Structure 1
Amino acid sequence: MENLEHKQKVTIMIAIMAAMLFAALNQTIIGTALPVIVADIGGMSYFNWVFTIYMLASSITAILVGKLSDTYGRKPFILTGIGIFILASLLCGMSVNIFQLIIFRAVQGLGGGMIISTSFTAIGDLFPPRERGRWQGMMGSVFGLASVFGPTLGGYIVDTWQWNWVFWVFLPFGAAAYAMIWKMFPKVSQNEKKSVDFLGAIVLTLSIVPLLLAFSWAGQNYAWNSFVIIGLFIWSAMTLTLFIFIERNAENPVIPLHLFKNSIFSISNMSGLLMGMGMFGAIMYMPFFIQGVLGISATSTGFIMMSMMLSMVLTSTIGGQLITKTGRYKRFAILGLLIMAAGMYLMSLMTIETTVTSVVRNLILVGLGLGLTFPVLTLTVQNAVDHRYLGVSTSASQFFRQAGGTMGVSIMGAIMNLIMGREMKGLRENPGSELQDPQVLMDPNQINALRESTSEVSSAQFDTIISSMREVLSLALSGSFPFGTFILIGAWILILFLKEIPLRLSNHPAQGSNKEKLSS
């Protein structure tokens, strides 16, 4: 597809980015809308599954479709993914109970995984490595924009229309993207058709799903040392061992194990895993600090969090352009991870006295670093492997980053809960102990309602209890952010060992160019 005219390539990329925006917005928009949805269809006890099932389905699909698209081409899978996502979005909006919504979200995750995996891989089909930087950066900007506007749009829609439109409002974007890709995305014929490694795919699924469930549930639904969590980890380890055995003997393995012998592939993916742990930790737990510790409303919190995503969009776009212009990329990852770690370290120093200006500064630092790093780690993997492994290598990169996010959020949450439980013991010996649930701090209206309904403590005592809980929550969050700092420093150290090989000017390298070479 390198031989296509530049105008046609740009048009195809616009269609791909429209599909990505369609999928990303549907993922980020639901967060602010879910409380209203649950209030209408019920199922408060199961609402976490609305997120968990999507993550599981998209992770599995992305890793499997990467290999299949290497064999059968990208076009069938990106079209199938968009079609499934459109149908699932329509059905999600028609859900009458939480169980239907969970099922349709699982279907939506299948489509989303196909879209994400094939979209990033399609960049590699359309452009040689030297030109991919700018497009990888723009794809990162799509994620950033979805994270900026999705939650705000979700809140606006449920306040203005019925919640169903959260799933339906972007359907025209999906239909337009489908039509454009159907018409303009060329069908690439594959010379070799090998048998599909169904056994490996099944065993890989049986390994990944329990692992992600363990990290999703640990510290929330079950204790880390519970039979369920330990059992999930043991099962995942056993099936992973079996998967490795199967792949060594498979004719056409789902994940060719020899790729991990390539140090660039391994270091990039491990760095992506660690970056995901730090990135998603900041995204998930900073709103707790802004709302719970500083007492700022959810709406204002969304605007404050925008500073992180907008700075990410800025550096992701600029960094991608500079990579394409200079042909160098390692320096951007080194600088980006260092800036991210600095922002996370400053987050660990935050207290109840921290100002909004300081919070915004910290978020901007994390966003700037994330934007510089985001385009690099996928590009390095694509540039280091033979083009016939483009799909599987790209999907592996996406999977490691998402898996890292799942692990990071769980581990930081466990640290936060441990510190909070220890600090709350002393408070619960005081009057008004029934008030001392830190979750109350997330909703100013609930605090006011409790103030009016509580008679056993004076107004001054009530304020003291609330202030003490804010301090406890601040200590707990500040104690969890150092974990993110150390993780990002670990990713930075790994990147120092990354071999920087020249970005190829063609998808068909000369003989021997697929080997690792140090740049001059």
Structure 2
Amino acid sequence: MEHLANKQKITIMLASMASMLFASLNQTIVGTALPHIVSQLGGMKYFNWVFTIFMLTSSITAILVGKLSDMYGRKPFILAGLGTFIIGSFLCGTSTDMFQLIAYRGLQGFGCGMIISTSFAAIGDLFPPRERGRWQGAMTATYGLASVIGPTLGGYIVDNFNWEWVFWIFLPVGAIAFFFIWRMFPQATQRNHTSIDYAGSVFLTVTIVPLLLAFSWAGRDYAWSSLTILALFAISLISLALFIWIENRAENPVLPLHLFKISSFNLANIIVFLIGMGMFVVIMYMPFYIQGVMGISAEKTGLFMMAITLSMVVSSVLSGQIISKTGKYKKLGLLGLLFMGSGMFLLSTMNPGTSHLILGGYLALTGFGLGLSLSLYNLVSQNSVPQSHLGVATSASQLFRQMGGTIGVSIMGGIMLTRMQSRISSSLAQAPESFSKLTALKDPEILLSPDKLATIKAELPANLNTSFTQLLHHLREAMGFALDGVFLTGSGILAFAFLLACFLKEIPLRTSN
């Protein structure tokens, strides 16, 4: 599609960005609205599946569609993704119980995987690597913009309208994107492939799903040493061995293993995996620090988190423009990892008395580094492989980032829990006898509920007010100590990514596909 007129290319890209915005907004808007939705539908103990099922179906679909879109073109899959996502979004709003919502979110995930995989791959079809940077930066900025708008809008909708509109409000955006993709996106000529690798697809799925489930559940729903977690790891490992055996003999493998012999492809995906760990650690655990340790309200927490997303939007656009203008990317990638790692290290040095301005600065530095590097290494991966494997390279990058996030959040959750329990046990062992009467404050999660804290304090006798304040200080200190360890570990992971990036050979960006 490189031969298309520039005007048509821009129209297709705007439609692709609208598709990405539609999918991203529907992801980010749910988090804020979910507590209210759960209160309406019930099924509190199943609410994690609203996210888990979406993550599983989108991850699997992305990697499988990458290969299929290389074979049959991007258009049918981005249209199928939009159609599936639109239907899934509409059905989510019709849910009458939590099980229906989970099922329909799974359907949304299938559509989202197709949209994300084909949207980024379409950039590679339309533009040579030298020109892709600005468009991949714009696509990443679209996701960042959705991260700013979605949570705020989700809260507003559930406060002022029926919760169903969380899923319905953006349906017109999806319909418009579908129309423009259908009209403007050219259909690629099918390449002569003799077969689809069904066996490889099945065993790839059976490798990824148990692995992601194991890391999602371990340390939270099940102990790491439990039979359930060990069985999931065993299933994943056996399936991986069978998958490799099948792919080495497949005529048209779903994930060509020879790509992993390309050093720049391997390094780029490992770095993306590590960036995914760092990115999701900040997104998931920073609100705990802001609310639990610093005592800032949930509403204001959203404003602080905007420092990450807004700086990410700015730097991703800047990164794309610099790459397209200079054709160089290695130093920019190193700079992004340096900024992100430094920001996370600075986050590990905070305490409850850290000023709001400094907190915002640390978050902005982390987000700026994330924006510089996030789409860059996807471009490196694409530039490392032949054009015929563009979809596979793009979807592999998306999968590694998702797996990095899932595994990172699980590991960091274990670090946080261990450090917090250790510090609380140490503090309570030296605590006055009056602390034993404040049993309602023994669970650190109470720090995330200012209303409950106010209620407990109001109900306490006056002679326990001092003990209440002291115990609250100990709990905040314990949570801060735990999260400092999480952010310090995250900065170490990014330091390792920086070290790997130093060995990345800068292959000149092609000026033609």
User: Which TM-score applies when normalising by structure 2?
Assistant: 0.97
The change in CA–CA distance for 1:456 and 1:72 in structure 2 (over 3 A counts) is farther
What is the RMSD of the two structures over their aligned residues, measured on CA atoms? Answer: 1.1
Cα deviation, 1:349-379, whole Å, max 9, x if unaligned, reads 1112222122111111111101110121111
Secondary structure at 1:29 match in 2: helix
Give the aligned residue type for 1:478: D
Distance 2:293 2:177 in 1: 42
Question: By how many angstroms is 1:281 displaced?
Answer: 0.3
Alignment partner of 1:220 is 2:226: no
Question: By how many angstroms is 1:439 displaced?
Answer: 1.0
Aligned match of 2:314 = 314
Aligned match of 2:480 = 474
Alignment partner of 1:448 is 2:466: no
Aligned match of 1:171 = 171
Q: Aligned runs of 1:381-396 on 2, under 5 Å? A: 381-396=381-396
The sequence identity of aligned pairs, in percent, is 57
Aligned match of 2:432 = none
2:507 to 498, 501, 510: 501
Aligned match of 1:412 = 412
> Does the Cα contact within 8 Å between 1:144 and 1:309 map onto a contact in 2?
yes
Cα deviation, 1:283-310, whole Å, max 9, x if unaligned, reads 1111100011111111100011101110
Distance 1:455 1:215 in 2: 44
Give the aligned residue type for 2:478: V
Question: By how many angstroms is 1:236 displaced?
Answer: 0.8
Question: By how many angstroms is 1:449 displaced?
Answer: 1.7
Give the aligned residue type for 2:6: H
Question: By how many angstroms is 1:91 displaced?
Answer: 0.4
Structure 2 regions of 5+ residues with no counterpart? 430-434
Moved more, 59-68 or 191-200: 191-200
Distance 1:163 1:423 in 2: 40
Aligned match of 2:363 = 363
Distance 1:481 1:433 in 2: 29
> Does the Cα contact within 8 Å between 2:29 and 2:153 map onto a contact in 1?
yes
Aligned match of 2:349 = 349
Distance 1:115 1:457 in 2: 60
Alignment partner of 1:439 is 2:445: yes
Secondary structure at 1:458 match in 2: helix
Distance 1:45 1:453 in 2: 29
Aligned match of 2:254 = 254
Aligned match of 1:157 = 157
> Does the Cα contact within 8 Å between 2:67 and 2:254 map onto a contact in 1?
yes
Give the aligned residue type for 2:396: A
Q: Aligned runs of 1:192-231 on 2, under 5 Å? A: 192-231=192-231
Moved more, 128-137 or 355-364: 355-364
Aligned match of 1:510 = none
Question: By how many angstroms is 1:455 displaced?
Answer: 4.5
Secondary structure at 1:505 match in 2: coil
Question: By how many angstroms is 1:149 displaced?
Answer: 1.3
Aligned match of 1:487 = 493
Structure 1 regions of 5+ residues with no counterpart? 508-520
Aligned match of 1:513 = none
> Does the Cα contact within 8 Å between 1:200 and 1:247 map onto a contact in 2?
yes
How many positions carry a matched residue from both structures? 507
> Does the Cα contact within 8 Å between 1:428 and 1:436 map onto a contact in 2?
no
> Does the Cα contact within 8 Å between 2:333 and 2:372 map onto a contact in 1?
yes
Cα deviation, 1:99-139, whole Å, max 9, x if unaligned, reads 00000000100000000000000000010111000001001
Give the aligned residue type for 1:219: G
Distance 2:440 2:427 in 1: 11
Cα deviation, 1:463-498, whole Å, max 9, x if unaligned, reads 222121111110010011111011101111111111
Aligned match of 2:335 = 335
Secondary structure at 1:249 match in 2: coil
> Does the Cα contact within 8 Å between 2:424 and 2:474 map onto a contact in 1?
no
Aligned match of 2:469 = 463
> Does the Cα contact within 8 Å between 2:275 and 2:374 map onto a contact in 1?
no
Question: By how many angstroms is 1:219 displaced?
Answer: 1.2
Aligned match of 1:61 = 61
Q: Aligned runs of 1:418-437 on 2, under 5 Å? A: 418-427=418-427, 430-431=435-436, 432-437=438-443
Give the aligned residue type for 2:508: P
Cα deviation, 1:170-205, whole Å, max 9, x if unaligned, reads 000000000000000000112313311111101111
Distance 1:125 1:194 in 2: 23
Secondary structure at 1:450 match in 2: helix
Give the aligned residue type for 2:263: S
> Does the Cα contact within 8 Å between 2:193 and 2:252 map onto a contact in 1?
no
Question: By how many angstroms is 1:456 displaced?
Answer: 9.2
Question: By how many angstroms is 1:145 displaced?
Answer: 0.7
Aligned match of 1:514 = none
Aligned match of 1:517 = none
Question: By how many angstroms is 1:452 displaced?
Answer: 2.4
Question: By how many angstroms is 1:228 displaced?
Answer: 1.5
Distance 1:407 1:447 in 2: 33
Question: By how many angstroms is 1:211 displaced?
Answer: 0.4
Secondary structure at 1:228 match in 2: helix
Alignment partner of 1:241 is 2:247: no
Distance 1:457 1:206 in 2: 59
Secondary structure at 2:374 match in 1: helix
Distance 2:463 2:157 in 1: 40
Distance 1:455 1:394 in 2: 61
Aligned match of 1:281 = 281
Distance 1:474 1:346 in 2: 13
Distance 2:248 2:460 in 1: 65
Secondary structure at 1:349 match in 2: coil
Aligned match of 2:40 = 40
Secondary structure at 1:31 match in 2: helix
Aligned match of 1:326 = 326
> Does the Cα contact within 8 Å between 1:71 and 1:194 map onto a contact in 2?
no
Give the aligned residue type for 2:494: L
Distance 2:90 2:163 in 1: 12
Aligned match of 2:133 = 133
Give the aligned residue type for 1:363: L
Give the aligned residue type for 1:405: G
